[in-house]
Amino acid sequence: DFDLGALGKTCANGSSEMMTNISMSFVNILYNFQLMKFAGESGVAAYGVIMYTNFIFIAVFIGFSIGSAPIISYHYGAKNYAELKSLRKKSLVFIGVSSLILTVVAEFLAYPLSKIFVSYNAELFDMTVHAFMIYSLAFLMMGFNIFGSSFFTALNNGLVSAVLSFLRTLVFQVVAVLLLPVFFKLDGVWFSIIFAELLSVAVTAFFLVKMSRRYNY
């Protein structure tokens, strides 16, 4: 039989992913607006390069989070709480180690990756390398936030997952990209992602601690 209630719960549980995709488009427009204001077309071009190469690195976090979600869901449903706790600990260790590695790799690859796209213009190339090296610091925190949202989706808590995604991908980034350039000009735009991820990791840590007894992890 068709279970409308189950379908509704499934849609609600996946609302964080929906929010991420909706927010991404709006935030990108806002970033481009600010970059046009402070750096013109060169700023938008540099941001475009960062966005293209960014997916290479965050794919590790997204892939791990999506891949581990069914395992987390299974053990939670089976009430294997010892295994669930072990999964949570191992996942956070993996995210922590991979975050450090990816950040170091991104810093080293800022020059060659930028050269692939914008070597034709020395000024644009220097701006892109500078921006890439700042943006790459966000990888230290980004993995925890991506995993945190996916973790609560796997536990069938779509509300917390959506809150984490909404704050990270929309609220914190909008506040950062509007506020920081007022004080730091162009660098404020590049540092916006770090500011947003830093606030997000604090909220993610709060919910992970707060919900630990409820879900026995």
pLDDT, one tens digit per residue, over 78-112 is: 999 999 999 999 999 999 999 999 999 999 999 99
User: What pLDDT, in 10s, does the model give residues 138-180?
Assistant: 999 999 999 999 999 999 998 899 899 999 999 999 999 999 9
User: What pLDDT, in 10s, does the model give residues 47-66?
Assistant: 999 999 999 999 999 999 99
Closest CA relative to residue 20, chosen from 71, 66, 75: 66
Radius of gyration for the alpha carbons in the chain, expressed in angstroms and rounded: 19
pLDDT beyond 70 at 118: yes
Q: Apex CA 171: angle with CA 168 and CA 174, to 5°?
A: 105
If one compares 20 and 41, the residue with the highest pLDDT of the two is 41
pLDDT given for residue 23 in this prediction = 78
Residues 6+ apart with CB under 8 A from 177: 27, 30, 31, 34, 189, 192
Are 190 and 202 spatial neighbours (Cβ–Cβ below 8 Å)? Answer: no
Q: CB 108: neighbour CB atoms within 10 A?
A: 12
pTM: 0.90
Residues 6+ apart with CB under 8 A from 77: none
Structure tokens at 185: 């000009």
pLDDT given for residue 22 in this prediction = 75
User: How far is Cα 30 from Cα 178, in angstroms, rounded to an integer?
Assistant: 8
User: What pLDDT, in 10s, does the model give residues 182-209?
Assistant: 999 999 999 999 999 999 999 999 999 9
pLDDT beyond 70 at 27: yes
